[in-house]
Amino acid sequence: MLLAFDVGNTTIAIGLFRGRQLVKSWKIETDTDKTSDEYGVLLLNLMQACALGAGEISGAIISSVVPPLTPVIEEVCGTCFGTAPMVVGPGLKTGMPILYETPLEVGADRITASVAAFEKHGGPLIVLDFGTATTFDVVSAKGEYLGGAISPGVRISAEALYLKTAKLPRIEIRKPKKAIGRTTVASMQSGLYFGYIGMVTRMIEEIRKELGAEARVVATGGFGGQLAAEIPAIEAYEPDLVLEGLRIIYDRNREARD
């Protein structure tokens, strides 16, 4: 089985693939203070709870936007599973030309999600990832990564209101009953929820205008499931898009090596 790690700023998504099938996935908190031993014990316990053994792992691949944790997860793969993982980055074949001015600046998760989305839906394509930051990634009809946009995630926006104002509270992010709030909490929820939908909708419009094509829109990420239902332009929500992309990239590089 293949072990795939998507190391994000807030959570680490872990997936187990048997062939092309994702048989199990977990999400754990990203913690740069944890050692490889701690991560290893946590992962082995999660696998044991699902009656899965370390000996079943035959390969591993990592996508990481948290550089200090990349060698930690690599050590977990070597120590606990006896495998040297592939790491998405320079030297690894993705099958997607990157037309960014400085390709090394593009987050590994953005490329990985784009690879999976293009494989499943074709292009032109806009890939929306509602994570710690919300990213818009654009793929051409030929499967080229063209670039995109980055905005603060909805959770960051809510936290900024709490931290940078004297009287606004920390709130739960959810859809309010009305746009016109009658309390401070309801007013904040309205601004965050409906305002975020408006921002995403306008960004999709602007990107499509520049492309000159009705690009399909695919969403992923923590808040994607909730917000995708509110934005008609989003055609599909794929919660495991980055993990699927990691499996595709792993297979492409394994085939090249073979």
pLDDT digits (tens, 9 = 90+) for 57-101: 999 999 999 999 999 999 999 999 999 999 999 889 999 999 999
Q: Supply the pLDDT for residue 224.
A: 85
Residues ≥6 apart with Cβ < 8 Å to 80: 40, 43, 44, 54
Give the ranges where 87-183 is alpha helix by DSSP (H): 108-121, 154-163
Determine whether 109 is an active site residue.
Answer: yes
Domain edges within the chain: 2-87, 103-245
Q: Supply the pLDDT for residue 223.
A: 82
pLDDT digits (tens, 9 = 90+) for 145-158: 999 999 999 999 99
Please state the CATH superfamily assignment of the domain spanning residues 103-245 in this structure.
Answer: ATPase, nucleotide binding domain (3.30.420.40)
Q: Supply the pLDDT for residue 35.
A: 96
Q: Which helix (H) or strand (E) holds 139?
A: strand 133-139
Average pLDDT over residues 175-197: 95
* The CATH number of domain 2-87, selected from 3.30.420.40, 3.40.630.30, 3.20.19.10, 3.40.50.720: 3.30.420.40
pLDDT digits (tens, 9 = 90+) for 10-40: 999 999 999 999 999 999 999 999 999 999 9
Three-class HEC string of 182-211: CCHHHHHHHHHHHHHHHHHHHHHHHHHHHH
* Residue type (1 letter), 122: G
Interatomic CA distance for residues 154 and 91, integer angstroms: 34
Average pLDDT over residues 36-58: 93
Interatomic CA distance for residues 15 and 30, integer angstroms: 15
The one catalytic residue among 6, 31, 37, 109: 109
- Calculate the average pLDDT of the chain: 93
What is the pTM assigned to this prediction?
0.92
Give the count of beta carbons closer than 10 Å to the beta carbon of residue 258: 5
Percent of the chain predicted with pLDDT > 90: 87
Structure tokens at 14: 């872990």
Burial class (CB in 10 A: 0-12, 13-18, 19+), 136: buried
Q: Supply the pLDDT for residue 68.
A: 96
Asked if 2-87 and 103-245 have one fold, the answer is yes
Interatomic CA distance for residues 202 and 32, integer angstroms: 35
* DSSP label of 12: E
Does pLDDT of 258 surpass 90? no
Structure tokens at 146: 């063209």
- Angle 62-240-157 (CA atoms, 0-180°, nearest 5)? 90
Q: Supply the pLDDT for residue 91.
A: 84
